[in-house]
Structure 1
């Protein structure tokens, strides 16, 4: 049926077959090239991350989707429908304006609130996935794990950081870490470009230059929102620990022990870390 086959003859039936064969082959190659092109474009534009976050957020239980205005008591019950991105929420704008973003870090130690043993410096903003954002004087922001996540995870066995020049998107992957067999992605609290890597000894993970002229922090928690959020997160954690066999309960006062993840059985570690860090 093909010209390179012995005893092939240029007959009408052969010509029809070859025409159909190469038409189908050309269509498949075109579709493959189109798919690859769209995939590359989606990765560049952060679309793939947005799709993944939309799926992850959909899979979270309603108890994990409480609106920030429910946490502060402004409404009795309100479930977030915007993936914790208040920048796209029409309802958020109808509530009293949130306090202004904190000023860039000054020399010396900033005021710190102690919430059940969790230190929350006043010059930081907080993402619902348990990262903090600290504006710096040069226009960049410092990003790291908040006190809740640090105590929950302890010291990770491995950490995978994006190199300088990488682009981050809100609720996309900021970095990954491994604790035992559990590998968890940490959600980015900001849009922007990574300028520097940190690490545990430095007390921070990434420096990022925000996209646009300045940091858009409307989706980040601050001030009076922090305490009710931390209390709700402790309730969520207690519920997860009691859902199956762990042999763990929170200490008196509600604060988890240091490096709680090491005490969680391997069989449930990925589940608990994933749900608390919004990666169900």
Structure 2
């Protein structure tokens, strides 16, 4: 897995897609998540586009596209139960899957050891 400075995680899959979610650190900083707005499958995005809105009891945050590419699937379960983001941010609470236009963009992100050092 790779990690961004915006506290997103990226997990490459065997089929070439990349699953994207937020880290445990991010979910703890947000507090109780009460609303998640996801992009539509089939949407083409550019790196750093705002594509997910998360609202918690503390604040509203945007999730940025970590890569150029196409959203291939979204996790509709989060719309019905946004609290999953707090319960299992690295597992069942992924936000979307995407087919990257340029998989080498992932090389710019941190590995787990570097991310742990980053959040200190």
1:197 aligns with 2:37: no
Correspondent of 1:218 among 94, 97, 107: 107
1:226 partner SS: helix
TM-score, with structure 1 as normaliser: 0.36
Segments ≥4 residues shifted beyond 6 Å: none
Greater RCO, 1 or 2 (C-alpha within 8 Å, sep 6+): 2
1:183 shift after superposition: 2.2
Q: Structure 1: where are the runs of 5+ without partners?
A: 1-123, 232-280
Superposed CA deviations along residues 71-104 of structure 1, whole A, max 9, x for unmatched, are xxxxxxxxxxxxxxxxxxxxxxxxxxxxxxxxxx
Identify the structure with the greater helix proportion.
Answer: 1
Identify the structure with the greater strand proportion.
Answer: 2
2:74 partner SS: strand
Q: CA RMSD in A?
A: 1.9
Of structures 1 and 2, the larger Rg is shown by 1
Aligned residue number for residue 227 of structure 1:
116
- Once residues 146 and 206 of structure 1 are traced to their aligned partners in structure 2, the CA distance between those partners, rounded to angstroms, is 14
Superposed CA deviations along residues 225-269 of structure 1, whole A, max 9, x for unmatched, are 2222011xxxxxxxxxxxxxxxxxxxxxxxxxxxxxxxxxxxxxx
1:223 shift after superposition: 4.3
Are the counterparts in 2 of residues 132 and 189 from structure 1 also a CA contact under 8 Å? no
- Once residues 215 and 165 of structure 1 are traced to their aligned partners in structure 2, the CA distance between those partners, rounded to angstroms, is 21
